[in-house]
Homo-oligomer: A and B are copies of this chain.
Amino acid sequence: MTTIAFIGLGHMGLPMARNLLKAGFNLRVFDLLQAAVEDLAKDGAQAASSALDAVQDADVVVSMLPASRHVEGLYLGDNGLLAVLKPGSLVLECSTIAPESARKVHQAAATHGIELLDAPVSGGTAGAAAGTLTFMIGGAATTLEKARAIFEAMGKNIFHAGPDGAGQVAKVCNNQVLAVQMIATAEAMAMGVANGLEPGVLAEIMRQSSGGNWTLEKYNPWPGVMENAPASKGYSGGFMAELMTKDLGLAQEAAQASGSSTPMGALALQLYRLLLKQGKGKQDFSVVQQLFID
């Protein structure tokens, strides 16, 4: 029976770990916040006292951490997990981090004979709870096949993006397009309404036409257009503007690495930073709509 060490039980990690429990995996869990650990222990996970403790006898490690520095801190160096995991272990690194950082961890894993995948997710906390996340995965296809059952316990779309780091690259590309089209939708909604259109009518026309995109389909930023969208609930829930800002920053790091010109993505990042300066970082990222309304 597969034993999984799960490290990082935040807004995303906690529901993901719970889905692994439901699917019947042995789970050893650790987080710096004791409450999350105890929460899962009630559901049948084994509480670990440290990351090192969590990976004892684990066949697989799943990690879900805030940023590159946490991931590098967990895995690299003389006291990092890669130095203590048994050869042949499988590591599914699900954090959203810089592609360059992901590749660094990949290389270290290879030198220790450990198979690792960078596997950032999209779908938000709702997708994490429902087990319908999208995984964008970088690393060997054969490794992905070994891990498929684990991913499928947490998500619905399991994409092999390419070699080491490709999961992170796909994630930042996707989220950059998402941010740009959220802003494009928001500014068009505001312009249309200011020129006399009903927001619901305009939203529906664009949704069904060549302006159609995911935000018009699932996540309209104008309050009241979609009953269940964050915009209709005071921009609460969903995906925080500060997290989108983080992802747009990672995208710019990738653009810098390749010398890519991304005028729309770069501008989206600057507009989200303006929004954060207005104290809206904790609201859903569709709150960018408010920049464009009096």
**Chain A residues at the B interface, C-beta cutoff of 8 Å:** 99, 122-123, 134, 136, 157, 159-163, 165-166, 169-170, 173-178, 180-181, 183-185, 187-192, 194-198, 201-202, 204-206, 208-214, 217-219, 245, 249, 251-271, 273-274, 276-277, 291-294
Contacts and interface: CB of A to CB of B under 8 A. Distances in A.
Q: Tell me the number of copies of this protein.
A: 4
Nearest to A258: B194
A249 B261 CA distance: 11
Which of A204, A209, A269 counts the most chain B CB atoms within 10 A?
Answer: A209
Which of A170, A257, A276 counts the most chain B CB atoms within 10 A?
Answer: A170
Given A162-B198, A277-B294, A292-B277, A192 B211 contact: no
A264 B177 CA distance: 12
Given A180-B181, A214-B211, A261 B292 contact: yes
Main secondary structure on A side of the interface with B:
helix
Nearest to A213: B213
Nearest to A256: B249
Given A176-B188, A181-B184, A265-B188, A259 B194 contact: yes
9 contacts: A136-B209, A161-B201, A162-B198, A169-B202, A176-B184, A183-B264, A191-B254, A194-B259, A260-B273
A266 B264 contact: no
A239 B55 CA distance: 54
Nearest to A197: B162
Contacts of A185: 177
Contacts of A157: 208-209
Nearest to A263: B270
Contacts of A276: 259
Contacts of A274: 261, 274, 291-292
Given A169-B197, A180-B181, 4 more contacts: A173-B192, A191-B258, A194-B258, A264-B267
